[in-house]
Amino acid sequence: MRLLAWNIRQGGGSRLTGIMAAIARHDADVLVLSEYRGGDSADRLRTALHACGYRYVTRLVPPPHRTGVLIAARRRFAERGPVCPNVAEPWRLVDADFGGLRVTGVYMPNLKIKVPYWQTLVDACALRATGDAVAIGDFNTCRAYVDEPGAIDGTAYFMDSMDAIGFRDLWRHRYPDGREFSWYSHRGNGFRIDHAFLSPTLAERAGVVRYSHEERLAGLSDHSMLLLDLSKRNPRRLPPPGSRLPLPQSGGGLGRGSPFQESSTP
């Protein structure tokens, strides 16, 4: 099973055709699309996904002009709804079951607003640590001097909380000294804020985990894709991070603002 996680920067306008073509190229079984915008954009995206073979999508839709996360797949799955209905925007953390695998789609808000979402996620994952579970998407969170050049993000300790309950940030687990960024600020600073956290048993048998930067560099989104292969086979030996495509030196495909500053988008 291949999972594709991507912040599509709302994704319902003129970029939609290109977004769908990029998704089709990677031939994923399950999509986790964050910054999924409600209203007409949601309708257009869901129609496009259906035409591309992703006939099954989560029913939880953000209100118009708000953004959340969408899970889509080629086969039926059991939708479990929001991880916690009591957070301000429950459509940012969404659960789905694929057989014995629990997939949590993630789209964290910015700054300290994300704290209750993180708390909710850590509590939920603690109960899932003995099974097969993955939390994947845009966490808007990174470790100082490891996933970012400086120390801007004040909520990185939640990533350590996930590690403490046994969930592995799989890319970092594979590449402890790796440097690869999935989003760039308007100043050209890179941040790795898109992650896949896997339960212990799932992490042991996970396949390839990698970023695809081509789509960001082409302007289809301001985020790189995160691709994760899950199988019963032993993990393959991987090339060094960033070897598929060179990392931009001047912040190509820049975003609209820092994930650690208030966004201009509601």
pLDDT beyond 80 at 248:
no
- Rounded to an integer, what distance in angstroms lies between the CA atom of residue 188 and that of residue 249? 8
Q: Which amino acid is at 91?
A: W
* SS3 state at 137: strand
pLDDT of 245 > 70? The answer is: no
String of DSSP letters for 180-200? --SEE-TTS-EE--EEEEE-H
Check if the beta carbon of residue 26 is closer than 8 Å to that of residue 227: yes
Looking at residues 202-228, what average pLDDT do you find?
A: 97
Half-sphere exposure of 237 (CA within 13 A, CB side): 0
Handedness of CA 228, 249, 152, 223 (dihedral sign): negative
Which residues, at least 6 apart from 235, have a Cβ–Cβ distance to it below 8 Å? Answer: 174, 205, 206, 207, 208
- Cβ atoms of 99 and 73 within 8 Å: the answer is no
Question: pLDDT tens digits for 188-214?
Answer: 899 999 999 999 999 999 999 999 999
What is the per-residue pLDDT across 162-179, written as a single tens digit (0 to 9) for each?
Answer: 999 999 999 999 999 999
Q: What is the predicted pLDDT for the residue at 186? A: 87
The correct CATH number of 2-230 out of 3.40.50.720, 1.20.1050.10, 3.30.365.10, 3.60.10.10 is 3.60.10.10
Number of Cα atoms under 13 Å in the Cβ half of residue 218: 14
Please, which residues have CB within 8 angstroms of residue 98's CB and are 6 or more apart in sequence? 1, 30, 73, 77, 78
Sketch the domain layout of the chain as residue ranges: 2-230
- Please state, in angstroms and rounded to a whole number, the distance separating the CA atoms of residues 16 and 22: 10
Which residues are CB-contacts of 118 (< 8 A; sequence separation ≥ 6)? 108, 141, 155, 158, 161
Instruction: Say whether pLDDT at 26 is over 70.
Output: yes
Q: In the 8-state DSSP scheme, what is residue 74?
A: S
| Numbers of helices and strands, H then E, in the chain | 7, 14
Model confidence at 242, in pLDDT bands (50, 70, 90)?
low
pTM of the model: 0.87
**11 has a pLDDT exceeding 90:** no
Residue 77 carries which DSSP code?
-
Q: In what side-by-side order are the strands of the sheet with 78-82? A: 78-82, 93-98, 101-107, 132-138, 194-198, 168-169
